[in-house]
Amino acid sequence: MTNRPHRAHNGVHLECFEALLQETNGAMLSPEATRKRIHNTLPVAREGFVFIASGIVLTGLFLVLSLSPAAVFFGLLTLFTVYFFRDPPRNPQGEEKSVLSPADGRVVEAAPSEYPSAPRGEKALKVSVFMSVFDVHVNRIPAAGEIEAVNYHPGKFLVASLDKASDQNERNAVTLRTHDGRRVVFVQVAGLIARRIACWVKTGDKVRAGQRFGLIRFGSRLDIYLPADSTVTAAPGQKVRAGESVIGNLS
């Protein structure tokens, strides 16, 4: 079960805060709504529908009012919103032991580390992918297996490209156990602008490599932790694509 903080925040009642966090992580979605997001066949992610529709309404309103500058502004903003929420199909590549990038973007770190959850101190290899606002923001499963845990952590909204964002920012950690018992942890990290994390998988779900599992808006990073005896093939500065680029191999 996803861990939630058990206190009010900034004077907001506990019930309201809990509901907000549930919505943030996709916990309030119906099973059918979750299924449609994971197996999306549309060119844009369903998370973007409300933003796109709002932009169309505002653009139309300003056109009716003959306020051309405002109509042009919101028209361009709507087009960018469609671009931001694009959800292109992906063709997972690699061998059985391959680990795929969970996000589009640029690798900003590939180094020895520790797993971000218990038991603390357990060695791991960490690869971090930074997503700019121009990257596809739909996140994908890095390896086939079963979801062992989903843990939400409240936090700050530092610039996501900073190393300390992994420990201090709001984040959602997903622990996966592969079919041969290997543990892979991938963490959705919010950033300076990205303040809404959507996660569509839950504990016990059987998942396949390259499957959609969530989305962060608008611009952020994904940290992935592999067993210490794995091999990392990604390097800082490398551009990767979610569900297609191989970033490492399990032993």
**C-beta neighbour count of 89 within 10 angstroms:** 9
| pLDDT of amino acid 170 | 79
**Domain ranges for the chain:** 46-84, 98-244
The predicted model scores a pTM of: 0.81
Q: Confirm whether 220 is a catalytic residue.
A: yes
Cα→Cα distances 152→1, 4, 61, 186, Å: 10, 6, 39, 12
* pLDDT score, position 13: 38
Ranges in the chain, pLDDT < 70: 1-28, 117-120, 155-169, 191-195, 219
**pLDDT, position 154:** 75
Q: What share of the chain is helix, strand, coil (3-state, %, to 5)?
A: 25, 35, 45
CATH number for domain 98-244, candidates 2.70.70, 3.40.720, 1.20.1300, 1.10.287: 2.70.70
Query: Catalytic one among 113, 220, 230, 245?
Result: 220
pLDDT tens digits, 69-84: 999 999 999 999 999 9
pLDDT in the model for residue 15: 38
**Residue 203 and residue 120 in contact, taking contact as beta carbons nearer than 8 Å:** no
Cis, peptide link before residue 218, omega less than 30° from 0: yes
Report the C-alpha gap between 192 and 159 in whole angstroms. Answer: 5
